[in-house]
A and B are shown apart, each in its own frame.
Chain A
Amino acid sequence: MIRFVRLPYLLSLTLLAANPLALMLLLLAFFGSLNSLLADQATKSAVPPTQAAEPIDFNRQVRPILAKHCYACHGPDDTESGLNLTTFESATAECDSGSKAIVPNRSTDSELLARITSSDESDRMPPEGSRLSTSQIEILKTWIEQGAEFNQHWSFQPRKQVDVPEVADPSWCNNPIDRFILSKLEARDLTPAGQADKRTLIRRVYYDVLGIPPTIEEVLAFESDAKKDAYVRMVDRLLCDPRMGERWGRHWLDVVRYAETNSFERDGLKPNAWKYRDWVIRSINSDKPYDQFVTEQLAGDELDEVTIDTLTATGFYRLGIWDDEPADPLQARFDEFDDLVTVAGQGFLGLTLNCARCHDHKIDPIPQKDYYAMVAFFRDVTSYASRSDGASNNQIDVSDPSVREERARLKSEVAKLDKTMREIEQSAIVKMSAEEQRATEGPGRKRVLKEKLQVFLSDGEFATYQKWKNEREKIAKSMDSLPNQEFVLGLAKCEPTPPSTFVLVRGSPQAEGDQVAPSYVAMTQGDTSKRTEVPAFVRNSKNRLHTDAPVVGRRRALAQWITADDNWFTARTIANRLWQNHFGRGIFRSTNNLGQLGDTPTHPELLDWLANQLVEEDWSMKSIHRLILLSKAYQMSSQTTSETVLQDPANDLFSRFSMRRLSAEELRDSVLATSGDLHFQQGGKSFFPKVADEVKATQSQPGSGWGDSSESDRARRSVYIHIKRSLVPPELSVFDFPDTDTTCEARFLTTQAGQALGLLNGLFVQDQATRFSNRVLSMASSERDDQVRVAVELAYSRAATADDQKFAKHLMERFGKEHDLDATQQLRAYCLVLLNTNEFLYLD
């Protein structure tokens, strides 16, 4: 097993041999990462007990064995011989035979142990497959000896009301978050890092909240603001800045695998996908409560009050990949459902429900039945589109109702005519040559028909054809005269009567098993009696302004369950996401998976406290942002003592703030901000950055689906870049833009040569370096020192130091002496260097 840990890539050591400092840093890095890696490994593997005294961890060591070898017959769905091994009560109860499978503390009296060790094949369990290994048997035996506790995985329990811990130094704490952090540090005798300086703080907060750097003026104003509440006022101001949605919206777009095309051969456009993106940005800016944010995406078409906004939110269902020409249409249909279950499961609930598509979840208490019970919630969701009709299922007409009706009427007439005309065309086409027939299947159809249709039709047929054609043109004209239509991407059509859902044996749509109804998953710990029933579906809700289809209400019921205040998973998952995006890692690192294969939270009490807080604040995410931003923990310096680094190498304890590299979008936006180009127009259609011909050459039709945008559009923020699945611009992909097809819980942070090449020689940066140096020239005197001063202020939002001047002088002189660059060229080269430096790319 190889497990990838999100850590920086480390490069060739041999290259570094000549550079002792770099080598040293690199070595440190290796060992730092190793620590967390080893810890990670230790928690993941089922460790056999080495000594009887070591307590067995039920979830980590025992449940996987029971789940894999026993639950098929003695588990959540079947209790053969009256035995159910999923709870303490049922496992220690008398079976049909009168014996007890498990007698706590008495392994010799436990029938389970007798059966798994039996030498009599007809007696031995499990009846099929190989017997349990010695170490597995040993684990079960020790576990029974220790009392056979069925303690539950942390996330499969209700959230706790957490007491804020006591600390020795309460003066360090700004709010309860700090007490959770400090109490752990104190327990390890560690001192938290000092307060970051003001310039570091303002840069940290600007990037974190808005995704862009502060201007030098903003830095200076903050630095000179001596009032005690200067920081609080800045945070409050930024939390109301509309650019926040552009930064935090992108975090959500990662989770929902946002893209604007379908992938596969044609990688066709998803019209109006950008309206969903704008809905996300608006929702964040208006601090839409998270429960509402989720509900609108899942059931925006089923609410009591349906608006254009809530319909736009259902774009959530239409963002995935879609094969317009699937080899197996039924399989493809269930692949679409799987995509929804995967994204909804991991995105909203932090559960990898997708693991139970073909069989019961091996580790988590999610039987296969529950996967299909989840599918059943989505059964009224139609396929994205069909090849012949790319729009009806996914484009919601939100224009004025009367115009809509008139258009619909005309449209159906055109469709009728098209069908009739196509029949006539086909009757001629079958008589044509193979090449011509083939041509009619592509863009050549019009040409072939124009040239050859009449040849292969009788005069009467052709006359009829012409008549229909004229008629069609007339209708088309009157359609054109209607006011423009407005569409949003979303659930334009649903199944009013969803088909039944069955468990699919081994995940195969051809092998239907038991029928299942929609029901809530995973809260049952395998006890079917606890499976929550879905409330009666909401039907015929009023105010359905924009669609006339009857409401099934299943998705609304699902949303109600997911967003219930006492749902175990939802608040924890989103609280963790918020934390992750502020601190660089979640309280548990596997944000899309709080199940047993996920990572253990480093601060479980803090997580529950934050989740509780979120619910208490009526799911206001900004209230949590504010709490986090105002905490002392958030304001720590990233620098600390070597002792602390040694004690807490992976920063598991949050003993300091973790430095971070800018994301692809932040980097691009920062370059634009530095050159003065950044254009803050909010919302609207996506733009197309310039892409090198070499990149377009990788397409089967170079340039296809890649438009041209105006210069001012190209200077907009990166969140507005058109996301085409088969062509992600290199400046995004090389800096770890997430894969477009699957949900992304946290971005990778790689360091690779391609990044250096792109930042040195790529189209975008080359152009921007020129603009940056022109800006410096326009703002500074002709003196080099003054130019350097301005350049440093623009790039780093800080004043230039004597060292900066010395460095610049030396470098620019080299450019002049060794490479014959004139003063302007020297400045431009220096500006390019600034855009490449770690000070530009990394935040303290």
Chain B
Amino acid sequence: MARNSSLGGNSFCGRTRREFLWQSGGGFGAMALANLLDKDGFGSESSKPTTFENPLAAKVPMFAPKAKSVIFLFMYGGPSHIDTFDYKPAMIGMDNKTVEVKTFGRGGHKNQGRIVEPRWKFSQYGECGKWVSDLFPNVAQHVDDIAFLHSMTADSPIHGSAMLMMNSGKILSGSPSMGSWINYGLGSENENLPGYVVMLDPSGGPISGAKNWSSGYMPASYAGTVLRSKGAPILDLATPSGVSRELQRTLIDGINQANQNHAWSRLSNSDLAARIASYELAFQMQSSAPEAVDLGQETAATLSLYGADSPKTEDFGKRCILARRLVERGVRFIQLYSGGAHNDANWDAHGDLEKNHNLHAGATDKPIAGLLKDLKQRGLLDSTLVIWGGEFGRQPTAEYANGSGRDHNAYGFTMWMAGGGIRGGTSTGTTDELGGQAVEKPMHVKNLHATVLHQMGLDPNRLSYFYSGLEQKLVGVEHILPIHEIVS
């Protein structure tokens, strides 16, 4: 049970001690309770609210939050920034020229390479006049809501460790992911759904699989839950064949009755009561999760807005609609993977850049634009922080003697955020004229994490968890600043 005095004076579900006693209905429980309260210094005439809480219930943030939910659109494999949102006019006409440029990717450290000129045309959009490539014509319509971060850097240009870095702030496995931290700091607004949901690409999970949404050294209840748009949305949620919902109810009734008989003579044990409650919660979840993923409730216009009516964009479109539906139902952290498995099933464009990026941008551009538009028209964008990006970007030069494939680049890449109190129409930081590395205001993944926590009303330098002798933090031991330029 977590207690955080710095989170402010939380009342227990807003109730005072007296109401509590009254509601518990007298008998031994209430009497014992009264005694305990007195022993703990909650004086008998005190009417001050009790200062602790149900760890799975919503917790009060450290300060007024800008965002209530996060949707992280994870472009797994690493999209090329200079082919999408980081406009490099100086590269035009430089195709195939060999230049001196320091790069570091899976192919190791190199000092020169053959330029692969950005393969898509850029145009200006919005009042801010942002240059966006033809890969994202629909997202481009929303640049005035988007804050672009062009000088992102990460500690590793290798998928395994870079994925862990983007998700957990560390290049080593074993630490909780960002969603776990948010679940831990804020709890879940809707207890009938998991507070931290991950939706994978149909081609497969990202490398390292569940490590990417692990709760590390925290309890497993803070880990991400994989939610599927097809079949049973959550593992073991569906009853086995031959078991109706009514039968499941009778089974649970039976279990609960046996458990109550068992608990009657064991009043001092709290787990027993919690377990009774957990079956009720499971039963609730069996109706609320399928309801949450039921796209039958969406209009044709909405389906079309997200591209859910076209084969190319159907899968990501549907998952974007689900993301919005989960936000509406109080889920705190939703992560969507674009791309899965290996090679060209994700954004890892080592071979044919054009084929790869046309495929993945093509599958996501309309859905993402639809999501931004829909969130906005429903008044949800202000309280929903949308993040777009991969674990790193890609190099300006070719990986091989022939072809347009680019290797990984963690020296400089682009991510963007929208909604959730982020200043739209802005671009922060730059890379050099080839996009090789961050030049102006380099920002680390940790700054991004700090910004997310900050927008959610959590101080990134105070949200800590005691483990292994240290107050562990998502952003590590050093003081890390959120990216103030993009916070409105």
* Chain A contact residues, CB within 8 Å of chain B: 1-5, 7-13, 15-17, 19-35, 37-38, 41, 263-267, 321, 323, 325-328, 335, 342, 346, 352, 354-355, 358, 430, 433-435, 437-438, 442, 592-593, 595, 597, 638-640, 642, 645-646, 649, 656, 659, 661, 692, 694-695, 697-702, 725-728, 730, 733-734, 736-737, 739-743, 748-758, 760-762, 766, 803, 807, 811, 814-815, 818-819, 821, 829-830, 832-834, 836-839, 841-842, 844
The distance from the CB of B17 to the nearest CB of chain A, in whole angstroms, is 10
A21 / chain B contacts, CB cutoff of 8 Å: 260, 263-264, 273
Take A28-B32, A433-B402, A433-B403 as given contacts and tell me if A702 and B204 are in contact as well, using a CB distance cutoff of 8 Å.
yes
Which residues of B from 183 to 239 have beta carbons under 8 Å from A? 184-185, 191, 200, 204-211, 214-221, 223, 225-226, 228, 231-232, 234-239
The distance from the CB of A531 to the nearest CB of chain B, in whole angstroms, is 21
Tell whether B258 is near chain A: CB-to-CB under 8 Å.
Answer: yes
Could you tell me the distance between the alpha carbons of A307 and B71 in the complex, rounded to whole angstroms?
56
Tell whether B65 is near chain A: CB-to-CB under 8 Å.
Answer: no
Decide: A11 and B401 in contact? CB cutoff 8 A: no
A358 / chain B contacts, CB cutoff of 8 Å: 477
The distance from the CB of B445 to the nearest CB of chain A, in whole angstroms, is 13
Decide: A438 and B239 in contact? CB cutoff 8 A: no
Decide: B247 and A829 in contact? CB cutoff 8 A: yes
B223 / chain A contacts, CB cutoff of 8 Å: 733
Contact with A along B34-63 (1 / 0, CB 8 A): 011101100000000000101111000000
Decide: B208 and A661 in contact? CB cutoff 8 A: no
Closest 4 interchain pairs by CB? A29-B270, A352-B469, A434-B403, A741-B174
Tell whether B92 is near chain A: CB-to-CB under 8 Å.
Answer: no
Nearest CB in chain A to that of B25: its residue = A20
Tell whether B290 is near chain A: CB-to-CB under 8 Å.
Answer: no
The distance from the CB of A68 to the nearest CB of chain B, in whole angstroms, is 14
Nearest CB in chain B to that of A1: its residue = B464
B340 / chain A contacts, CB cutoff of 8 Å: 700
Decide: B275 and A841 in contact? CB cutoff 8 A: yes
Nearest CB in chain A to that of B4: its residue = A2
Could you tell me the distance between the alpha carbons of A819 and B23 in the complex, rounded to whole angstroms?
36
The distance from the CB of A666 to the nearest CB of chain B, in whole angstroms, is 15
**Which of these binds chain A: B131-139, B281-289, B432-440?**
B281-289
Decide: A807 and B282 in contact? CB cutoff 8 A: no
Decide: B208 and A645 in contact? CB cutoff 8 A: no
Decide: B219 and A736 in contact? CB cutoff 8 A: yes
Take A435-B403, A694-B228, A803-B261 as given contacts and tell me if A34 and B40 are in contact as well, using a CB distance cutoff of 8 Å.
yes
A267 / chain B contacts, CB cutoff of 8 Å: 208
Could you tell me the distance between the alpha carbons of A1 and B463 in the complex, rounded to whole angstroms?
6
Decide: A807 and B258 in contact? CB cutoff 8 A: yes
Take A22-B277, A263-B211, A694-B228 as given contacts and tell me if A593 and B2 are in contact as well, using a CB distance cutoff of 8 Å.
no
Which of A342, A730, A756 is B281 in contact with, Cβ under 8 Å? A756
Nearest CB in chain A to that of B275: its residue = A751
Decide: A761 and B239 in contact? CB cutoff 8 A: yes
Could you tell me the distance between the alpha carbons of A698 and B254 in the complex, rounded to whole angstroms?
34
Known contacts A355-B469, A741-B174, A832-B251; 18 further A-B pairs (Cβ under 8 A): A12-B54, A24-B28, A25-B273, A28-B36, A32-B270, A323-B172, A327-B171, A335-B172, A438-B350, A642-B28, A645-B267, A700-B208, A726-B209, A737-B220, A752-B281, A756-B279, A803-B261, A842-B271
Take A13-B13, A327-B155, A807-B261 as given contacts and tell me if A4 and B400 are in contact as well, using a CB distance cutoff of 8 Å.
no
Decide: A342 and B220 in contact? CB cutoff 8 A: no
Decide: B4 and A264 in contact? CB cutoff 8 A: no
Tell whether B481 is near chain A: CB-to-CB under 8 Å.
Answer: no
Tell whether B468 is near chain A: CB-to-CB under 8 Å.
Answer: yes
**Which of these binds chain A: B157-165, B418-426, B448-456?**
B157-165
Decide: A751 and B274 in contact? CB cutoff 8 A: yes
Decide: B281 and A11 in contact? CB cutoff 8 A: yes
Q: List 10 A-B contacts (CB under 8 A).
A: A21-B260, A26-B277, A31-B33, A358-B477, A434-B401, A726-B208, A757-B237, A757-B285, A819-B244, A837-B255
Nearest CB in chain A to that of B157: its residue = A327
Decide: A32 and B36 in contact? CB cutoff 8 A: yes
Decide: A15 and B277 in contact? CB cutoff 8 A: yes
Could you tell me the distance between the alpha carbons of A727 and B36 in the complex, rounded to whole angstroms?
43
Take A15-B281, A25-B29 as given contacts and tell me if A751 and B271 are in contact as well, using a CB distance cutoff of 8 Å.
yes
B297 / chain A contacts, CB cutoff of 8 Å: none
Could you tell me the distance between the alpha carbons of A490 and B266 in the complex, rounded to whole angstroms?
48
The distance from the CB of B175 to the nearest CB of chain A, in whole angstroms, is 8
Nearest CB in chain B to that of A23: its residue = B24
Which of A1, A659, A757, A833 is B255 in contact with, Cβ under 8 Å? A833
Decide: A265 and B173 in contact? CB cutoff 8 A: no
Decide: A22 and B33 in contact? CB cutoff 8 A: no
B106 / chain A contacts, CB cutoff of 8 Å: 325
Interface centre among B37, B159, B262 (most CB of A within 10 A): B262
Interface centre among A5, A7, A819 (most CB of B within 10 A): A819
Decide: A760 and B248 in contact? CB cutoff 8 A: yes
A593 / chain B contacts, CB cutoff of 8 Å: 469
A640 / chain B contacts, CB cutoff of 8 Å: 268
Nearest CB in chain A to that of B174: its residue = A741
B27 / chain A contacts, CB cutoff of 8 Å: 24
Tell whether B1 is near chain A: CB-to-CB under 8 Å.
Answer: yes
Could you tell me the distance between the alpha carbons of A837 and B285 in the complex, rounded to whole angstroms?
20
Decide: B271 and A4 in contact? CB cutoff 8 A: no
Could you tell me the distance between the alpha carbons of A640 and B265 in the complex, rounded to whole angstroms?
10
Decide: A438 and B477 in contact? CB cutoff 8 A: no
Could you tell me the distance between the alpha carbons of A699 and B205 in the complex, rounded to whole angstroms?
5
B291 / chain A contacts, CB cutoff of 8 Å: none
B379 / chain A contacts, CB cutoff of 8 Å: none
Decide: B29 and A27 in contact? CB cutoff 8 A: yes
The distance from the CB of B269 to the nearest CB of chain A, in whole angstroms, is 5
Contact with A along B141-164 (1 / 0, CB 8 A): 000000000000001111111101
Take A694-B235, A748-B220, A833-B254 as given contacts and tell me if A9 and B56 are in contact as well, using a CB distance cutoff of 8 Å.
yes
Could you tell me the distance between the alpha carbons of A839 and B162 in the complex, rounded to whole angstroms?
46
Nearest CB in chain B to that of A645: its residue = B268
The distance from the CB of B59 to the nearest CB of chain A, in whole angstroms, is 9
Could you tell me the distance between the alpha carbons of A26 and B55 in the complex, rounded to whole angstroms?
13
Which of A3, A24, A762 is B24 in contact with, Cβ under 8 Å? A24
The distance from the CB of A431 to the nearest CB of chain B, in whole angstroms, is 8
Nearest CB in chain A to that of B203: its residue = A700
Which of A2, A15, A756 is B465 in contact with, Cβ under 8 Å? A2
Tell whether B487 is near chain A: CB-to-CB under 8 Å.
Answer: no
A8 / chain B contacts, CB cutoff of 8 Å: 270-271, 274
Which of A10, A646, A807, A838 is B54 in contact with, Cβ under 8 Å? A10
The distance from the CB of B242 to the nearest CB of chain A, in whole angstroms, is 8
Could you tell me the distance between the alpha carbons of A842 and B231 in the complex, rounded to whole angstroms?
33
Nearest CB in chain A to that of B352: its residue = A435
Decide: A11 and B205 in contact? CB cutoff 8 A: no
Decide: A25 and B270 in contact? CB cutoff 8 A: yes
Decide: B158 and A354 in contact? CB cutoff 8 A: no
A739 / chain B contacts, CB cutoff of 8 Å: 174, 214-217
Which of A28, A661, A698, A830 is B200 in contact with, Cβ under 8 Å? A698
Decide: B263 and A699 in contact? CB cutoff 8 A: no
Could you tell me the distance between the alpha carbons of A749 and B160 in the complex, rounded to whole angstroms?
30
